[in-house]
Amino acid sequence: MKKINTAPISGMQELLPEAQATFDRLKTAISETYRRHGFLKIETPTIDRTEILFAKAGGDTEKQVYRVFKTAETADDSDQALRFDHTVPLARYVVEHENDLAFPFKVTQIGRNFRGERAQKGRFREFYQADVDIISRSELPLEYDAEVILTLMDTFSNFELNTPVVARISNRKILNGLIRGLGLETKSRDIFSIIDHSEKVPEEKTLSAFSEIGLSEDETNKIVSFMNIRGKKDEVIPQLNSLDISDELFKEGIYELGKILTLIEANVGASEITVKTEVKAVGDMKIVRGLDYYTGTVFEFNLPEHPGLGSVSGGGRYDNLAGYFTEQKLPGVGGSIGLTRLFYVLTENNLLKSQVIEKPVDYVIVPISENEIEFSMKVATDLRRDGNSATIIFSNKRLGDKLNYAAKISQKAIIIGENEAKSGQYEIKELFA
Amino acid sequence: MKKINTAPISGMQELLPEAQATFDRLKTAISETYRRHGFLKIETPTIDRTEILFAKAGGDTEKQVYRVFKTAETADDSDQALRFDHTVPLARYVVEHENDLAFPFKVTQIGRNFRGERAQKGRFREFYQADVDIISRSELPLEYDAEVILTLMDTFSNFELNTPVVARISNRKILNGLIRGLGLETKSRDIFSIIDHSEKVPEEKTLSAFSEIGLSEDETNKIVSFMNIRGKKDEVIPQLNSLDISDELFKEGIYELGKILTLIEANVGASEITVKTEVKAVGDMKIVRGLDYYTGTVFEFNLPEHPGLGSVSGGGRYDNLAGYFTEQKLPGVGGSIGLTRLFYVLTENNLLKSQVIEKPVDYVIVPISENEIEFSMKVATDLRRDGNSATIIFSNKRLGDKLNYAAKISQKAIIIGENEAKSGQYEIKELFA
């Protein structure tokens, strides 16, 4: 027989049932928290027209998009590809269904996206993303930025991690205003990029990068002082003001950040919830979110005890969701958890309180002989009706073999012999693998 | 601005949030019932090697498979395509992870599959399938066939339909034995095909088809009597025996069907469950499941009040799951619900008790002014902690506008004014859209 390689394609996550159960527990925590925060779930097709997908993509993303061949029967259709994120299909969805949606549209998408990146440990070509977005047809109040961040904070606090999480929040207007206030507009792109990379390189490298793009020592110092501002609202806002930049955008950004931090700090302290994982929020001027399309609030979630693991969630405010598809201006704010990567990071680094659900079945029922099958099925039905999972072993093997199998999938066995079937009484036996 | 077509590609389901919530309710009923029956969930990648996928595909399926272009960065990999069902990736999965799985392996996959079929009303190119399978490395007892059928029956009875469901069960060995007993082996393929299509054409057409392939009147009468056998075990088994066919396979098939019907009938009557939808099981000799790879038990679920809608689930017993990938023989039994098509059929024909979840948010909280936002957020936190979904309206619009928006997404509003914020007391207002 021809030997076929049965491994999944590299870059594709494929889990054993026990790990899959742990993955699903995280996924359920996410979707349930999003639901409670009032986000409506939608699903967009995996395949879309390249005309739609490439409207925004460009550059590296376009190179990584999985295009699909037309089949004989779909040959009449336009060029098609697999979606690489949820944002572009969402923009299409909102424009297409605008008249049937209530705005602000609080929406969540949890599903698989695709990027044909070079295979690499911890990088995935197919990956779950869990997005929340709030889209408006008119001005979208700042409180919604706080709501998105609080939703993600709640989500992380519903995970059972043995390490804390921090939401780091900034506002693009502050850095844009600072750059304008210092008269450095022509170097804006470089400055964004240097700050964005600053946590991945030693400090000297950041300083020399600023000098390489022609910043004076004074300008560099000002920006470095700015970058290092981090903390609660009462620490961050006065420090930003003390930079003494008389730019309107700078001031507007500080006002917005102050307002959002106030709401978040008030809400986190609002009630004595027993959170499963500690999650706090800080203002942090190192957060710029790359060269992305954000226009105001930007944020990133990190594990402060594991800075090397990078961000585990991010998002921000954008002025115009669907500028490529419609003239209607649709401002929004959103965030995303990269679930496949997050699961990989958490399990590789042992950051989940109970690492893997080892025994996914609640009860295994073991009829001794054929005569007890009918009663065993009744026992299973009763257990299932109460919400338990139950499996019956049908086999002529020895009892020892049956119990070995039971111990692999469950911690509890119910052995049904003649007496049990007759009396209707049975015992639950603890199994040890 | 260039006008872009923002409709989803034809053949792709895209639902508004209210319909999506109904779809998800069905999906949850399925996955929860599968879980209770002890099936372990796995997910296989959407993209796999064509070498794997085409091992089984062949014929029409191969023409409909969505192949993906290699990107610059994945060019080293083999040819790839989107999976068109769950069975082929499952076969690969079981072979790849055999040493880490406990057998019998009770497994479920719920996810999207892809076939680039000609677009047509009610046909989908991307569709959810919800599969259960039980795979063994040695002989797999017949009781597992009953367990798969009972799992699917339980699933349908957990749906809230206003029409009953019937599980129609047969066994390929009976028809194969009958054909052999009548000495018609060379016409076996044709006979299977004529019976398989018999419910879609008038009876005369079936009769003339038998005559066209050269069956005598006597042979045709025998097969037609066979085809019309349908009912409970105590009706079906005696009628089959009375056909007086002295073929061993025929008798083996009758034995197997009798045993499975006995188990199912005993279990359905086992307890007084308040089922949401009536589901019964019958033996039914019209069920052959096309020319598929089944070797024993075959079954199909139908809506008997709506025969034109065709089957809503099907499956059966196969001798060898992964014959293309391994010499290890892996017998199994499985079934599948085509969820996307099922949802389409149920909603198009108004067969769901409550057609669509119209108001997906439990509570909308309406602060009168900025001053009440902090208290409104506390109210939302409390509601969410109790499992409710709650959305706060942040906006400077008039109260009437806010309540109009609230009525679109919810049936209950909580208006928070100065008094409510001060006293901590609030009323819940019923909304009428």
The predicted pLDDT at position B75 comes to: 66
pLDDT single digits (tens) A41-99: 999 999 999 989 888 656 677 788 899 987 767 666 678 999 999 999 999 999 999 99
- CB spacing of B40 vs A361 below 8 angstroms: yes
Close Cβ partners of B25 (under 8 Å, ≥ 6 residues apart): B357
Cα(B49)–Cα(A5) distance, integer angstroms: 9
Q: How confident is the model at residue B226 (pLDDT cuts 50, 70, 90)?
A: very high
Q: How far is A196 from chain B (nearest CA, A)?
A: 25
What pLDDT sits at residue A122? Answer: 83
Q: What is the β-pairing status of strands A311-318 and B363-367?
A: unpaired
Choose between A65 and B56: higher pLDDT. A65
A272, pLDDT greater than 70: no
Distance, CA of A300 to chain centre = 11
Which pLDDT score is estimated for B61? 74
Assign A314 to helix, strand or coil: strand
Range(s) within chain B of domains with CATH label 3.30.930.10: 17-46+83-348
Range B383-404 average pLDDT:
93
Minimum-distance CB partner of B45 among A9, A65, A390:
A9
Query: Which residues in chain A have Cβ-Cβ distances shorter than 8 Å to B40?
Result: 17, 20-21, 360-361, 409
Contacting residues of A for B402, CB less than 8 Å apart: none
CA-CA-CA-CA torsion sign (B372, B375, B380, B386): negative
Enumerate residues 87 to 116 of chain A having a beta carbon within 8 A of any beta carbon in chain B: 92-93, 95-97, 100-104, 106-107, 112, 114, 116
Nearest by Cα to B379 from B347, B342, B427? B427
CB contact under 8 A, B44 and A17: no
Tell me the per-residue pLDDT of A4-28, one tens digit each, with 9 for 90 and over.
899 999 899 999 999 999 999 999 9
pLDDT tens column, B272-315: 456 788 999 999 999 999 766 899 999 999 999 998 888 999 99
* Count of CB atoms situated within 10 Å of the CB of A408: 16
Biggest distance spanned by C-alpha atoms of chain B:
91
What per-residue confidence (pLDDT) applies to B359?
85
pLDDT at A107 over 90: yes
pLDDT value of residue B2? 54
Percent of chain A at pLDDT exceeding 70: 94
Fold designation for A363-430: Rossmann fold (3.40.50)
> How far separated are the first and last CA of chain B, in Å rounded?
36
Asked if residues B133 and B332 have their Cβ atoms less than 8 Å apart, the reply is yes
**Are the Cβ atoms of B40 and A20 closer than 8 angstroms?**
yes
**Mean per-residue pLDDT over chain A, rounded:** 92
Tokens for A252, please give them. Answer: 């507007």
Q: Tokens for A207? A: 């300083």
Among chain A residues, CA nearest to B34: A389
Section B237-248 average pLDDT: 95
Average pLDDT rounded to a whole number, residues B124-131 = 97
- Which residue among A7, A65, A373 places its CB closest to the CB of B96? A7
pLDDT, residue B273, reads 56
Annotate A280-308 with DSSP letters as a single string: EEEEETT---TT-S--SEEEEEE-TT-GG
Q: Which chain B positions have a beta carbon within 8 Å of A80's beta carbon?
A: 9
The CATH 3.40.50.800 domain(s) of chain A lie at 363-430
Binned at pLDDT 50, 70 and 90, residue A273 comes out as: low
The rounded mean pLDDT for chain B is: 92
Average pLDDT over residues A172-197: 96
pLDDT at residue B382, as a whole number = 92
Residues 255-294 of B with CB under 8 A from A: 263, 266-267, 270-271, 273
Q: Which CATH superfamily is domain A17-46+83-348 in?
A: Bira Bifunctional Protein; Domain 2 (3.30.930.10)
> Which residues on chain B are in Cβ contact (under 8 Å) with A141?
394-396
pLDDT in tens, B160-190: 999 999 999 999 999 999 999 999 999 999 9
Across B56-76, average pLDDT? 74
Note whether B16 contacts A107, CB cutoff 8 Å: no
What is the predicted pLDDT for the residue at A341?
95
Contacts 24+ apart (CB under 8 A), A244-250: A245/A177, A245/A178, A245/A181, A245/A182, A246/A181, A247/A177, A247/A178, A247/A180, A247/A181, A248/A177, A249/A173, A249/A176, A249/A177, A249/A180, A250/A173, A250/A174, A250/A176, A250/A177, A250/A178, A250/A180, A250/A181
Whether the predicted pLDDT of A306 surpasses 80: yes
Tell me the pLDDT band of A268, cut-offs 50, 70 and 90.
confident
Nearest to A364 by CA among A400, A324, A398, A391: A391
Is pLDDT above 80 for B74?
Answer: no
Task: Give the residue-averaged pLDDT of A376-394.
Answer: 94
pLDDT at B355 over 90: no
Q: Which one of A49, A55, A71 has the shortest CB-CB distance to B64?
A: A71
Nearest to A270 among B80, B101, B378 (CB): B378
Asked if A96 lies within 8 A of B7 by C-beta distance, the reply is: yes
Query: Is-above-0.90 flag for pTM?
Result: yes
Question: Residues 6 or more apart from B151 whose CB is under 8 A from it?
Answer: B33, B34, B37, B39, B132, B335
Query: For the purposes of burial, counting CB atoms within 10 Å of the CB of A151, is it exposed (0-12), middle (13-18) or buried (19 or more)?
Result: buried
> Chain A contact for B71, CB < 8 A?
yes
Contact A71 B48 (CB under 8 A): no
Kindly determine whether residue B390 and residue A38, on different chains, have CB atoms separated by under 8 Å: yes
Task: Name the residue facing A45 among B8, B48, B150 (closest C-beta).
Answer: B8
Is the per-residue pLDDT at A150 higher than 70?
Answer: yes
> Is residue B58 over pLDDT 70?
no
Nearest to A69 among B8, B67, B324 (CB): B67
Residue B394 contacts A where some CB pair is shorter than 8 Å: yes
Look at A133-137, A364-368, B169-173, B199-203 and tell me which has the smallest mean pLDDT: B199-203
- For residue A265, pLDDT over 90 is answered with yes
Enter the DSSP assignment of A103: S
Residue-level pLDDT at B121: 84
Best mutation target, B13, B39, B63, B71, to test chain A (most A CBs within 10 A) = B71
Distance CA B383, CA B365 (A): 10
**A198-216: pLDDT as tens digits:** 999 999 999 999 999 999 9
Cross-chain Cβ contact B93/A14 below 8 Å: yes
DSSP A72: G
Residue B403 contacts A where some CB pair is shorter than 8 Å: no
Q: Is A239 on the interface with B (CB under 8 A)?
A: no
Instruction: Establish whether this prediction's ipTM goes over 0.85.
Output: yes
Query: Tokens 């295994």 belong to which residue?
Result: A364
The fraction of chain B above a pLDDT of 90, given in percent, is 78
The string of pLDDT tens digits covering residues B77-126 is 678 999 999 999 999 999 999 999 999 999 999 999 999 888 788 889 99
Closest-CA residue of chain A to B24: A41
Of B6, B11, B63, the CB nearest to A72: B63
Quick one: average pLDDT of A162-189?
A: 96
Question: Touching check for A15 and chain B: CB below 8 Å?
Answer: yes
